[in-house]
Structure 1
């Protein structure tokens, strides 16, 4: 596998390749997606695709980074515009849990973990594209809530790290390890509600 630095991020068909790849990956998953299907969907040649992405994993990770950034941007816009702490945390938890449990979320987790030791840049780039953005947003949001007397937190950075982990409770590990292949909306809601309740019980201000 080529290192991430070998990807050529230029060319007029870059967006076209990514959009075609996104369609195929979302439809067929990482393992099910073939290069032939991707070039057909994108309307480009294999030579063009390989000039940008010499490896299918690099193409998938680029799609995943784009998807993660889009999810993060949407979450940030919703959460930072909310004045209600519980409502904002519920929105954040809902987006996190559903992304963690999505096909893209699980596949990219496996690939990033599997490849980061050989190619640390993969992990750094993916972290910066979404998780770091969400962490920074949570820190800003929590600091504001503390300053407004809505939360009481001594270590805001730690609290911002804790919240996403609460959103992984139970279901994420089971899905990543292949112990099960689906979860219900009721189970997702249970994790979301539990994450918010646990967080608020620790950091909420008694009325």
Structure 2
């Protein structure tokens, strides 16, 4: 790592109590330590996210992102080759990383249906965040410009969401008779998790992508979750996983 040395203006030598002459201490400056570099990266990505959401990809500029991030353009270009690379990183972080970091509160309820409803409601409200939906709209709108990004995000989001669903269902059903059903066998659980997400999350997610005011969906969420969980549990108990084509 290259560093530079900033020398303080020379001052007359001073003497310590023992009579030894001393000079001023030299101050070394260079790149920030790793922990500070991480903060700079996060600040740039947060600023870019804000500007992309407000201006779109075409309307956003590195100059404005630098202003919002309180950072220099050179600092941004040292980390991201161009605006396309910065946009790619913003979308990847805010869609994929957020899924991986999702943490549900302890589920409320006595029965497994009540606990599933509690978790599904938390998941749905988390997923319908206005900025998150806005970024998904932007990524879809720019799919022609970033075809590889669109395909990667779609594939990885599906895989991460499935992993999340597996984790939630396994924890919720392991102490209940529902967990003994074929649908929750280890080899079948990925398919069951995808079905759970397709029933609970996908319909409202599609609605949200076309809804200007997301709050308009709020009155429907509880009823949607209750119906979806009831349908999901009934399907699992009916043995659908044993004859999925019937």
Smaller-chain TM-score bracket: 0.5 to 0.7
Report the Cα distance in structure 2 between the residues aligned to 1:40 and 1:165, rounded to whole angstroms.
41
Do residues 34 (structure 1) and 61 (structure 2) align? Answer: yes
Do residues 168 (structure 1) and 202 (structure 2) align? Answer: yes
The corresponding residue for 1:19 is 46
Report the Cα distance in structure 2 between the residues aligned to 1:161 and 1:99, rounded to whole angstroms.
24
Q: Which has the larger radius of gyration?
A: 2
Report the Cα distance in structure 2 between the residues aligned to 1:31 and 1:196, rounded to whole angstroms.
41
Residues 15 and 138 from structure 1, CA distance in 2 versus in 1: closer, same or farther, beyond 3 angstroms? same
RMSD of Structure 2 on Structure 1 (CA): 3.7
How many aligned residue pairs are there? 186
Partner deviation per Cα, 1:149-171 (whole Å, 9 max, x = no partner): 25342521112112332322266
The corresponding residue for 1:107 is 138
Do residues 70 (structure 1) and 98 (structure 2) align? Answer: yes
Report the Cα distance in structure 2 between the residues aligned to 1:127 and 1:60, rounded to whole angstroms.
18
Tell me the TM-score normalized by structure 1.
0.66
1:92 to 102, 123, 137: 123
The corresponding residue for 2:243 is none
Partner deviation per Cα, 1:79-131 (whole Å, 9 max, x = no partner): 5x437232112222332344797101222344458634xx36x7446754x55
Q: Which has the higher contact order (CA 8 A, sep 6+)?
A: 1
Structure 1 gaps of 5+ residues are 1-9
The corresponding residue for 2:70 is 43
Report the Cα distance in structure 1 between the residues aligned to 2:60 and 2:222, rounded to whole angstroms.
31
Bigger helix share: 1
Tell me the TM-score normalized by structure 2.
0.57
Structure 2 gaps of 5+ residues are 1-33, 109-114, 239-246
